[in-house]
Structure 1
Amino acid sequence: MIIIIYIWKGYPAGGYFLDDGMDACRRSSFSCIIDAKEDDRRRTIMTTIMTIFTGGTIGSRNTGGAIQVNDSGSYALIDKYTASPLKRDVRLETAQPLNILSENLVPGDWDKLIQAIGSLDFAQYAGIIVTHGSDTLAYTAAMLSFVFAHTPVPIILVASGNPLDDPRSNGLSNFAGAVDYILGGQPPGVFVIYRNDRGESVVYLGTRISQALPFTDQFDCPYGVPYGVMEDGVFKPDRHRLNPSPEELRAHAKQPMQSADGLQLGSDVLYIRPFPGIDYSHYHFSSHAPKAVLHDLYHSGTASVSGQARHSVLAFAEYCREQGVDLYLCPLKDGSGALYASSLKLIEAGVTFIERMSVEAALMKLIFAYSRFDSRAQVREYVLDETVFFEHIGP
């Protein structure tokens, strides 16, 4: 008999017992009579993984054409996993600090998730899996990368493009890939595993995954270089020159992990995306100003420096200075190379660029830094000069 047990956090205790002759698992109460010695022996030899549910499509059900989180939807993932041929000999513990659709996520929800992870005794687990909605997956992956940069075990985020009962769903495959990565003894760190529309189970570094694209619902990463893929349950790293090696990840994890106790993430960073004709006069900071603005750039590292002040980021930069608001521009691939005249004007004007970093990672790093540090100098040094979890890409 194979025993797969998981602990219900905040729910009635329950477990799964799989017999060789059974096609599906049977839920049973821990009040059932179990051979204590056999159970203890199983616990000592089985790897334990913590699964943290937060809601999202992977924890939702389609009811009457409306996809909504469901109280039992998240735990249905465990049902499907333990009844599938993808299951492994593993002990799963669970917790559910959140149960929301990820588009509704706010910084206070990150605080709850971070507290749930930070309160764990990492020595008791081979890894941690976080189920999440796909809409804000890239943001949470980056945030957890900065908070748990030196995690001694893999922290893997997984999502689903469709509810689990939908035959198009990749949620079970993504979860199984995360379990296989952990059981394979792969390097620690924060990752996302997501099976794309080509059937590839792609492994992304938490600071190097871009938001899913509209219409295709597919994720991407800077330069199109993911960290690797899962093939037949085995992790295959992409040893591209832009990627850290597994050895670098293991060395990184040996550094002390900072405590997240008392961390409260704020909403003090405003994100602006450029478009032709953007009118900066619509932004008024006199009554309620952010601590900082992250201004996105076109793919060539440019934004409008038009002579018309209300359409020029140069004039907006001056307005931010007058209001005491820090302004950062991102992404810029490499400021040491040849740049367009508009970018050079911005540099000459003293505007701060965040180089070699995705805008998702930059935004999360700024939010984390302004929540953690008191002085602008500390924020600037942390964001621009410190590489926390491989967010700086290239030389």
Structure 2
Amino acid sequence: MFCLGNGLFMFGRRSVMNIAVLFTGGTIGSTLAGNVIGTKTGAADGLLDTLSCVERDGHVEEITYQVYHPYTLLSENSTGLTIAQLAQSIREVVSEAKYTGSAKVALGNKGEAEDGTSVFTGLDGVIIMHGTDTLAYSAAAMGYLFGDCDIPMVFVSSNYVLTDPRANGAYNFQYAVQFLAFDCKQKGVYVSYQNGDGIPRIHLGTAIIGHQPYSDEVYSVGGMEYGHYEKGTKCFVAGKMYYAWNNTERLTDRPSLQAPDHWDAPIGLIYPHPGMRYPMNFDGIQAILHHTYHAGTICSETPEADKFFYEVANRKIPIFLCGMDADMVYESTYVYEKYGMIVLPMASPVAMYMKLWLLLCSGYSAKEWMTKPIPGDLPNFSI
């Protein structure tokens, strides 16, 4: 059994699946002019022509694509309004499909696929082409907004423009389609990305951590990737923590989240560093997300700390601590209880930022919901 480049296939079972592809710009949607990278609408559309079908164990999925261009920008320019626009575009695509189950249709012969559009109703998946700079933020936001959607979604990006031989965008796209066709067993939003080791990985959208400086590699918090494909094969190996995991049915109580309605977030972000000074301007701040050093610690002897935390408490601004491992406690961590800080479960700091933002702009109590698992959270998200 084999699949030809023009979409024809021979032998075996076959069916058709329908995938919506949203192009939003980013490096994967850019071209190189001299040494300057700039977005160009349609720059990545050619990827779809390279993959008209996928095959596994004698079963061929012929792919049809619905193409959308909701906006085109470099992802570093993303704001709350960009996230809202992406969410609205996805919602419209999904709403149009009005999914009534899988759109996959078994084909008795090739002619059935060519007779009419009735075969291609509904959606089997959504692929979002996105830049790498804010990939973690958008994937986390969509992970929470669409964590209980019946149609799985996968973010695809590229470390270099697609014409660069170093680019991984084509691989990320190919394995995103492979994942949707054969290996996606649960609701959710995912990320397909191949690092420099050549291993294609699938991550839960809310598990992605921010990039390290000078690196385009993508990792899940605590190494908790959803799964990976064995190098050079189509064999998918699921992460152990995701076996028999249902990320929505286990939740009887869940918030109805809305996308941001303003370009900026009403959140104060604090990162510890030697010689730090705590900010004393709280205008427009509804909550604070305080990061820690890798050991889950902050400087407990910063002279301004008492004044800062007193003012936060006086204004009834909740302050959440992100990065503390409950199994490791240092002397300096006593200040968390002293200052009334709410310690969050192990999670991606980026995801906690987006979860907090979405809760606030949806009118929910952050103190009540930040420590509760909601659709999109990791399987082990609990205090």
Question: Does TM, scored on the shorter chain, surpass 0.5?
Answer: yes
- Structure 2 gap ranges (5+): 100-121
How much identity, in percent, do the aligned residues show?
Answer: 26
Q: Structure 2 matches for 1:221-370, cutoff 5 A?
A: 221-231=220-230, 232-239=233-240, 243-245=241-243, 247-249=244-246, 252=249, 264=261, 267-280=265-278, 282-285=279-282, 288-306=283-301, 308-310=302-304, 312=305, 314-334=306-326, 337-370=327-360
- In structure 2, the CA distance between the partners of 1:297 and 1:324, relative to structure 1 (3 Å rule), is same
Deviations 1:6-39 (A, max 9, x none): xxxxxxxxxxx93769xxxxxxxxxxxxxxxxxx
1:158 aligns with 2:156: yes
Amino acid at match of 1:289: G
CA RMSD, aligned part only? 3.2
> Any conservation in 2 of the 1:274–1:298 contact (CA below 8 Å)?
yes
Q: Structure 2 matches for 1:111-190, cutoff 5 A?
A: 111-119=84-92, 120=94, 121=97, 123=99, 124-187=122-185, 188-190=187-189
> Any conservation in 2 of the 1:244–1:390 contact (CA below 8 Å)?
no
Using the TM superposition, name which of 385-394 and 108-117 deviates more: 385-394
C-alpha distance in 2 between matches for 1:230 and 1:255: 33
Q: CA deviation at 1:74?
A: 3.0
Q: CA deviation at 1:340?
A: 1.0
Query: What's 2:41 paired with?
Result: 71
Q: CA deviation at 1:185?
A: 5.0
Q: CA deviation at 1:170?
A: 0.5
Q: Structure 2 matches for 1:82-97, cutoff 5 A?
A: 89-97=62-70
C-alpha distance in 1 between matches for 2:88 and 2:54: 32
C-alpha distance in 2 between matches for 1:102 and 1:178: 20
C-alpha distance in 1 between matches for 2:181 and 2:251: 19
> Any conservation in 1 of the 2:23–2:129 contact (CA below 8 Å)?
yes
Q: CA deviation at 1:379?
A: 2.0
Q: CA deviation at 1:264?
A: 3.0
Amino acid at match of 1:89: E
C-alpha distance in 1 between matches for 2:51 and 2:321: 43
Alignment partner for residue 54 of structure 1, among 24, 35, 41?
A: 24
Q: CA deviation at 1:100?
A: 0.9
Q: CA deviation at 1:367?
A: 0.3
**Other structure's SS at 2:361 match:** helix
Q: CA deviation at 1:88?
A: 6.0
Higher relative contact order (CA 8 A, sep 6+): 2
Q: CA deviation at 1:261?
A: 7.0
- Structure 1 gap ranges (5+): 5-16, 22-43
Deviations 1:248-270 (A, max 9, x none): 23764998998767863651112
Count of aligned pairs between the two proteins: 345
- In structure 2, the CA distance between the partners of 1:168 and 1:91, relative to structure 1 (3 Å rule), is same
Query: What's 2:369 paired with?
Result: 382
Q: CA deviation at 1:127?
A: 0.8
Query: What's 1:206 paired with?
Result: 205
Q: CA deviation at 1:344?
A: 1.4
Q: CA deviation at 1:329?
A: 1.4
Q: CA deviation at 1:219?
A: 1.6
C-alpha distance in 2 between matches for 1:61 and 1:73: 7
